[in-house]
Structure 1
């Protein structure tokens, strides 16, 4: 079904399913496009920041809204049966980073469910310097979910959209001032900042003297909507690392062999779980509790079972640290048929930790070890 700007329909005209998806694909002539979803109340306001779904917050608390961004677009998976009553409308937007809406070469937004879909195609024609678009709304009226194609330009960028819906973006830190008493705590502000390491060799330095807290590494990937293996099963993509501490101690943290590490003792690196399907909203997570102890480490992902096909995983790793922008690395150069992808290296240097995009593919553990000169002795392992 092809839709036009301003067209509205009842969800029941498309599907009776309560689990639906909104997929947004945007091709830019320059710059990048960030897709977001605002879950707002009856007044059209973001009364709960946890329902602002974007690159730094990919799911609502109960999982009624989840987001997966990949090289071929952004997918918002919606479970309407779990949507809280306070969320009366979902607004999907796209904001330009380093460009304007007139730079859109082409785009499509698709609502799908129950095997049916409704598409709206758009471009930058008719826009000038608008920095964002409000693409569509999914809203409740008279107890029925309805869909509206808005396709309206918005002069500000993502921070202006956030303000429009009643939220507030966090501002960069400034010089400290003497604390003043406050009558009540202010609501938390949304951190819109991120650093994308896009090319092999791109790096970012974390100043550990200013940010000494843990580093949280999150891996998320496509949960199996695409057939990645010959049998069509869901992909089992594992997050792991090889590390060497300043003390000289070294090892491997991975689900294989149940080497999950420790948060309270050496090496102070912990892998939280083995998500065998990608169905977990939180993906797989690794915590570097004492990053100042790291001499060198490589963070890698590997396909545990099946024929390697990275192209369909839409895998993204995000390094998070309190008080600093998120560092994002996407596996978007999947030409290799090798099973292992080294995503990033961490190098400890004089009170800092340099995060470098590696983007290297290998056949197995031994090849990774040999390239980075750890010198491990390998034996067969299993989960």
Structure 2
């Protein structure tokens, strides 16, 4: 069914189970847009920042809200009956990044429960100087979950939305001490660096930002035709060379998962063969200061090599530093191996560079980056 601005409905009309999805697709004429979900209390405030679902926090603690982003938009999978009683409303928003809401070429919100769906379409013609929108709300009234199309413009961006709901953007440095402790306000780190083009890079200061680097690979296994005929097996891996000259490969193939407590101090946590794991695959560089050079790559072990259909993305995280995002969005390559990033260590820094290079196999990756391994057949 098609909905109008201001229209309301009971969610039981779509899904008696309380499980629904909200899909938001926004095409911008210029810039980008970030879609988020605020889980607020009866006062309309973000009293628990774990229920602010956005690009740095993709799920609520119990998994009742899970966010997935891909080339066709952002999807929130919701199990409303599994939310704590403190969460009385879920607010879906979209905020501009380098543009205004009037730059929206087209947009749609699709609420789905079971076999039924309700859609609302919108465009930038309805707005002027606004930098964010409150798109819709799922709220509880008289113990019944309901849905409302809001589509209301908001003058500020994502940080202003966060403040509106009672949160605060975390600052990179601690503020100066004050004699009286301020009220407790949820603080959220909105910083993110997207390496969008091959050769884009960012330096991590290992003196300032110490500790492990967490590399997460996640992809969508449930909404593309590619996966209906059998789940794809997309693997995270790396080739490394330490400053002491030792080198090797970390990957599920051959059970070379590495170690967190001994050299190379690089650990791969699991082999997610379907992409159904909410956490995806994770690699931890426990002592990044020991890296001389490494390449982080993903390869399609099983399935048709179609990178666009995977909606895959890699996120590099380190406490005290902005998250670094690299999306696999090259639509042309039919090769199975994609080198996502290189890590180059020197003088207390680690430079992360987007590679965006595709190869047919391990040996071709090795030949290009000159590690000099001897290769034999392996399996998992």
* TM-score using structure 1 length: 0.96
> Secondary structure of the residue that 2:125 maps to in structure 1?
coil
Unmatched runs of 5 consecutive residues or more in structure 1: none
Aligned partners of 1:10 and 1:2: how far apart in 2?
Answer: 15
Aligned partners of 2:15 and 2:260: how far apart in 1?
Answer: 47
Q: Residue 276 of structure 2: which of 261, 275, 279 is its match?
A: 279
Q: Which residue is equivalent to 2:311? A: 314
Q: Which residue is equivalent to 1:224? A: 222
Contact 1:224 1:235 in 2 (8 A): no
> Secondary structure of the residue that 2:365 maps to in structure 1?
helix
Q: Which residue is equivalent to 1:195? A: 193
Q: Are 1:77 and 2:77 an aligned pair?
A: yes
- 1:308-347 aligned at under 5 Å gives the runs 308-347=305-344
- Which stretch has the larger CA shift, 51-60 or 310-319? 310-319
Which string of whole-angstrom CA distances, capped at 9 and with x for unpartnered residues, describes residues 313-359 of structure 1?
Answer: 11111111111111011111131111111111101121111100011
- 1:102-141 aligned at under 5 Å gives the runs 102-141=102-141
- 1:299-310 aligned at under 5 Å gives the runs 299-310=296-307
- 1:283-298 aligned at under 5 Å gives the runs 283-298=280-295
Between the two proteins, the alignment pairs up a number of residues equal to: 380
Unmatched runs of 5 consecutive residues or more in structure 2: none
> Secondary structure of the residue that 1:224 maps to in structure 2?
coil
Contact 1:269 1:289 in 2 (8 A): yes
Aligned partners of 1:371 and 1:182: how far apart in 2?
Answer: 59
Aligned partners of 1:72 and 1:282: how far apart in 2?
Answer: 21
> Secondary structure of the residue that 1:311 maps to in structure 2?
helix
- Which stretch has the larger CA shift, 250-259 or 48-57? 250-259
Aligned partners of 1:182 and 1:379: how far apart in 2?
Answer: 65
- 1:58-77 aligned at under 5 Å gives the runs 58-77=58-77
Root-mean-square deviation (Å): 1.6
Aligned partners of 1:116 and 1:170: how far apart in 2?
Answer: 40
Q: Which residue is equivalent to 2:203? A: 205
Aligned partners of 1:352 and 1:188: how far apart in 2?
Answer: 31
